[in-house]
């Protein structure tokens, strides 16, 4: 529950990480079943913690997409019923817009000088590595936000690469936080991973896109990413350096520790493994940094906003802040609590739509491939 896109009264998260960890990745059927099981209890808890009642709500906001169809459907069906029952408007929000507005909400709350527009937003998570140029049609509360996609991954997302490489090295799930902690113990210059230039792909004619917003053509320079190459490079390194047996020993040792944390893994990693992890992170963060700052410069952005699960990465935060300071460009991150998926960010993104009267009708549907801009 959030007031005026600004003050968080309650932000209850029912994490499914422990459930999916057993499978090494998200299992869609289990995800929607858990949503169904949790949604009523989570909303009740949020209302209780806020000190208000459901009757005090002015609107209900819900994620329209992108995401897993089953999970989206549970949220939308519940939100529609709740809004209808309370007689308040329903607002559909793009999940990615939520990540961006979580940062803006917190930056306003810190009473910093407001981030000036346009902003360059990097959304970097397990499903996305996307760059958007974000601006308002009219500055002020009622100004509708507009987003222009100026870069995206052509294959794996950065968080996905982290998770796959962690799995390959016998570490826990999700792999990002493990890699982040272990990278600090290795030499980032040990293995020189390279990123090639990504050529923009022409829009493929004849490919029908699943929603009306998906077909937006991109104009101007494009700053795309690719992370599947570095994943393959790590695999090749592991093979050519005969690291497989040590990896299997580590995997088995961690499986014996159900509550294992990254700190437990340090003793299970030799120097070569720690160097490999540090070098992987150095290359990935460097690539994110180069593309993001180049895009900011090309589009005349006045600030950078980084969000999504990978925005929790310590090296990413350090390097983005240092480069921002060097260029005199403000860089904002969400607090750790708001960097992974949460409901407060959806309410924050809904506020400008509420002010502008942009409500969803009965026709609001789950849109798994929904794009922003
Ligand atoms: O935004 P998010 O919670 O969920 C979605 O993917 O939508 O992001 C989760 C991703 C996972 O891939 C996870 O490994 C990654 O964020 N992640 C990190 C860190 N913390 C989470 N990656 C690198 N360093 C971290 N500290
Ligand atoms: Zn997310």
pLDDT tens, position by position, 233-248: 999 999 999 999 999 9
* Domain annotation covers residue 219: yes
Indicate whether 309 and 340 sit together in one domain. no
User: Does any domain span residue 133?
Assistant: no
Judge if 224 and 340 occupy the same domain. no
Note whether residue 346 is domain-resident.
yes
Is 69 inside a domain boundary?
Answer: yes
Q: What is the mean pLDDT of the chain?
A: 91
Inside any domain, residue 205: yes
For residues 110 and 166, membership in a common domain is answered with: no
| Same structural domain, 279 and 340 | no
For residue 188, give its domain range: 158-329
Please tell me whether residues 166 and 93 are part of one structural domain.
no
310 closest CA partner among 65, 45, 130, 78:
130
- Does residue 307 sit in the same domain as residue 350? no
pLDDT band at 275 (very low <50, low <70, confident <90, very high): very high
Do 166 and 100 lie in one domain? The reply is no
pLDDT at site 298 = 97
Contact criterion met (CB below 8 Å) for 333 and 103: yes
* Best residue for ligand 1 mutational test, from 100, 158, 309 (most atoms within 8 Å of Cβ): 309
Q: Looking at the structure, do residues 274 and 341 belong to the same domain, yes or no?
A: no
In angstroms, rounded to a whole number, what is the distance separating the alpha carbons of residues 93 and 8? 17
CATH of the domain at 277: 3.30.420.40
* Same domain, yes or no: 185 and 273: yes
Residue 120 lies in a domain: no
Closest atom, ligand 1, to C-alpha of 340: 3
Res. 214: pLDDT tops 80: no
- Provide the pLDDT confidence category of residue 201 given band limits of 50, 70 and 90: low
Q: 89 and 197 in one domain? A: no
Residue nearest to atom 3 of ligand 1 (CA): 340
Query: Which long-range contacts link 55-58 to residues 24+ away (Cβ below 8 Å)?
Result: 55/86, 57/1, 57/86, 57/88, 58/88, 58/354
Task: Tell me: do 94 and 222 sit in the same domain.
Answer: no
Scan for tokens 């900011």, then name that residue. Answer: 296
Is residue 19 scored above 60 in pLDDT?
A: yes
The predicted pLDDT at position 203 comes to: 47
Domain count, the chain: 2
Pocket lined around ligand 1, Cβ cut-off 6 Å: 125-127, 159, 162-163, 174-177, 180, 308-310, 312-313, 340-341
Q: 241 and 344, same structural domain? A: no
pLDDT above 60: residue 206: no
Model confidence at 129: pLDDT above 60: yes
Q: How confident is the model at residue 258 (pLDDT cuts 50, 70, 90)?
A: confident
Cα(104)–Cα(117) distance, integer angstroms: 11
3-state secondary structure of 132: strand
At what angle are helices 314-327 and 175-183 packed, to 10 degrees? Answer: 70
Q: What is the mean pLDDT of residues 56-82?
A: 97
d(C-alpha 310, C-alpha 122), whole Å: 10
306 in a domain, yes or no?
yes
Confidence (pTM): 0.91
């Amino acid at each position: 529950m959030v007031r005026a896109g600004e003050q968080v009264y309650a932000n209850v998260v029912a994490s499914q990480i422990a459930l999916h960890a057993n499978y090494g990745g998200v299992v869609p059927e289990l995800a929607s079943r858990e949503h169904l099981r949790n949604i009523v209890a989570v909303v009740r808890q949020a209302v209780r913690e806020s000190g208000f009642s459901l009757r005090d709500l002015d609107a209900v906001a819900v994620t329209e997409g992108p995401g897993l169809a089953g999970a989206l459907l549970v949220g939308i069906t519940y939100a529609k019923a709740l809004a209808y029952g309370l007689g308040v408007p329903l607002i559909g929000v793009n999940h990615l817009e939520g990540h961006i507005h979580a940062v803006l909400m917190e930056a306003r709350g810190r009473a910093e000088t407001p981030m000036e527009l346009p902003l360059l937003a990097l959304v970097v998570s397990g499903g996305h590595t996307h760059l958007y140029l974000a601006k308002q049609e009219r500055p002020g509360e009622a100004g509708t936000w507009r987003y222009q996609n100026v870069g995206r991954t052509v294959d794996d997302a950065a968080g996905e690469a982290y998770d796959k490489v962690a799995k390959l090295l016998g570490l826990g799930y999700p792999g990002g936080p493990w890699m982040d902690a272990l990278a600090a113990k290795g030499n980032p210059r040990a293995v020189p991973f390279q990123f090639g230039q990504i050529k923009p792909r022409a829009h493929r004619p004849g490919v029908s896109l699943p929603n009306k917003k998906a077909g937006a053509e991109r104009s101007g320079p494009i700053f795309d990413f690719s992370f599947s190459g570095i994943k393959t490079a790590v695999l090749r390194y592991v093979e050519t350096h005969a690291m497989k047996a040590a990896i299997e020993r580590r995997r088995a040792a961690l499986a014996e520790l159900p509550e294992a944390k990254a700190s437990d893994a340090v003793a299970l990693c030799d120097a070569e493994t720690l160097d490999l992890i540090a070098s992987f992170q150095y290359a990935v963060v460097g690539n994110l940094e180069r593309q993001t700052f180049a895009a900011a410069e090309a589009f005349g952005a006045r600030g950078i906003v980084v969000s999504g699960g990978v925005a929790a990465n310590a090296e990413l935060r350090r390097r983005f802040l240092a480069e921002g300071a060097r260029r005199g460009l403000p860089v904002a991150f969400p607090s750790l609590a708001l960097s992974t998926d949460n409901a407060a960010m959806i309410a924050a993104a809904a506020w400008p739509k509420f002010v502008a009267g942009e409500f969803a009708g009965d026709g609001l549907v789950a849109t798994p491939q929904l794009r922003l801009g």
